[in-house]
Amino acid sequence: MIPFNKPYKTGKETKYIYDAVNSAKISGNGKYTQKCQKYFEDKYGFKKCLLTSSCTDALEMCALLLEIKPGDEIIMPSYTFVSTANAFVLRGANVIFADSSESNPNIDENKVEGLITSRTKAIVVVHYAGISCNMDKIMRIANKYKLIVVEDAAQAIDSYYKKKPLGSIGHLSTFSFHETKNIISGEGGMLAINDNRFLKRAEIIWEKGTNRVAFWRGEIDKYGWVDIGSSFLPSEIIAAFLYAQIEKLEKIQSKRIQIWNEYYKKLKSLKRNNKVILPYLPPYSGNNGHMFYLVCKNTKERDELIMYLKETGINAVFHYQSLHTSPFYINKYKGKDLSWSIKYSECLLRLPFYFELKMKEIDFICRHINMFYNSQ
Ligand SMILES: Cc1ncc(COP(=O)(O)O)c(C=O)c1O
C-alpha cells in the first residue's frame, strides 16, 4: 500500500534527543528550543518565535493575546481544521465563517468586508496547502477597520506571498510541525509574533502566566504569577527532533516541490479535459510543496476514485468537513450558504505526499487516476 503520509527522519533526530536527554535541561526553552526559534526568526524575519506543543496551542495563545471575550467575532474560512475556530470559541467568541474562493480553498477575500461588524476583533486566514491567501487585500481591510490578522500557516512553512514569507505578514501567525507537515516533531507548533504590542505578553502566556522567561534572562530576581496563561511550551526532546529537521529544510523542500511538479505534469491532461480541478497557484503565491489535491466533479465520483485507488494499493484521502455544517456548529450558524466551502469538503481529494515518495510511485498513482477517468 502506498500510504497517504510517511514521516521522514533526517537521521540526526535521535542524536539530538540523546544530547537533550543527557543535558541538564529536558524541560522547555532550553538550547534546542532557542536554536529552532532563532532559525525561524533569522530565516523568515519573524520578530519573535515561540515553539508550542501544537499549532492548536499557538492558536489558543492568539486568542489569549487578543483578549477575546464572549460576544467578540472572529472571521475565518469554514473550510479549515477545527482548531482554527475552537481556539477562539474556547474564549467565548462567535466565529463568523466566510466562504472559500472559487479558484482554491483559501478564504475568498472579497467576502470578508461584508462580514465585519462593530464586534469583529480579528480575521484569521488559512494558507491552504501552503498556497497564499491574498494578503495585500486582507491587510488593507484589516487596517481600514483596525482588526488583527492571524495567519494560520499550519501548512505553510517556507511558502511566500510575493517575496514575503507566509507568517510574516499578519500580526500573529501559527505553524504546525505535526507529522503530516513538511518539517515535523511528531506533535509540535510555533507562534510567530510580528507586532511589538504582543511580544512581552506572549512569553508570559507561554509560561503559565508567569514572568519566568524574563527571570531566565536575568532581568528580574524572582518570577511569579503576573497574567493568565498555560503550559504551551514543548520539552527539549521535541525541540531536538525539530532541530534535526530544520537542518535539512532545503533538501526536504526541494524534493517536495519536485513531487508536486511531477503530479501536476502527469495529471494536467485531466485538467485540460475538464475532468478534475488541480491546485491553483495565484500569481502572488509561492509553493512549498505541502500537498497535492484534486477536486472531483461530485462526492460520488470522489468516493469511487478513493475506493478504486484503495483497491490498487493507494491511500488517497479527503480533507476538512466545513465547520459551519459540523455537528457542533450547525445549530449556531446563521450565515449564508457557503457553497465553495461545501464543494471542497465534498469533492477534494489529497494524494499520497511525503519526502520518500518515489517518482515511479507517482507514475503508478497518476496512471491509475488517468485510467479511472479515461474508462468513464
Ligand atoms: C489549518 C490548520 N490549522 C491548525 C491545525 C492544527 O495543527 P496541530 O495538529 O499542530 O495542532 C491544522 C492541522 O493540520 C490545520 O490544518
Q: At what angle do helices 31-44 and 236-246 cross, to 10 degrees?
A: 40
Determine the atom of ligand 1 nearest the C-alpha atom of 128. Answer: 1
What is the phi/psi pair of residue 198, to 5°? -100, -5
**Which of 124, 176, 293 gets mutated to test ligand 1 (max ligand atoms within 8 A of its CB)?**
176
Question: In a 10 Å sphere around its CB, with 0-12 CB exposed, 13-18 middle and 19+ buried, how is residue 218 labelled?
Answer: exposed
Q: Which pLDDT score is estimated for 375?
A: 85
> What is the C-alpha to C-alpha distance for residues 86 and 74, in angstroms, rounded to an integer?
11
> What is the C-alpha to C-alpha distance for residues 330 and 154, in angstroms, rounded to an integer?
25
What does the block give as the cell for 41?
526568526
Ligand 1 site residues, Cβ closer than 6 angstroms: 54-56, 80-81, 83-84, 126, 152, 154-155, 176, 178, 189
Q: Which pLDDT score is estimated for 233?
A: 98
Rounded to the nearest angstrom, the distance between the alpha carbon of 154 and the centre of ligand 1 is: 5
Determine the atom of ligand 1 nearest the C-alpha atom of 181. Answer: 14
Determine the atom of ligand 1 nearest the C-alpha atom of 59. Answer: 4
**Which of 52, 81, 321 gets mutated to test ligand 1 (max ligand atoms within 8 A of its CB)?**
81
Rounded to the nearest angstrom, the distance between the alpha carbon of 347 and the centre of ligand 1 is: 20
pTM equals 0.98
Nearest CA to ligand 1 atom 16: 81
Q: Which pLDDT score is estimated for 376?
A: 72
Determine the atom of ligand 1 nearest the C-alpha atom of 320. Answer: 16
Rounded to the nearest angstrom, the distance between the alpha carbon of 188 and the centre of ligand 1 is: 10
Rounded to the nearest angstrom, the distance between the alpha carbon of 272 and the centre of ligand 1 is: 32
Q: Which pLDDT score is estimated for 249?
A: 98
Rounded to the nearest angstrom, the distance between the alpha carbon of 183 and the centre of ligand 1 is: 13
> What is the C-alpha to C-alpha distance for residues 311 and 211, in angstroms, rounded to an integer?
56
Written as tens digits, the pLDDT of the chain (376 aa) is: 999 999 999 999 999 999 999 998 999 999 999 999 999 999 999 999 999 999 999 999 999 999 999 999 999 999 999 999 999 999 999 999 999 999 999 999 999 999 999 999 999 999 999 999 999 999 999 999 999 999 999 999 999 999 999 999 999 999 999 999 999 999 999 999 999 999 999 999 999 999 999 999 999 999 999 999 999 999 999 999 999 999 999 999 999 999 999 999 999 999 999 999 999 999 999 999 999 999 999 999 999 999 999 999 999 999 999 999 999 999 999 999 999 999 999 999 999 999 999 999 999 999 999 999 988 7
Q: Which pLDDT score is estimated for 168?
A: 98
Determine the atom of ligand 1 nearest the C-alpha atom of 57. Answer: 11
Determine the atom of ligand 1 nearest the C-alpha atom of 177. Answer: 10
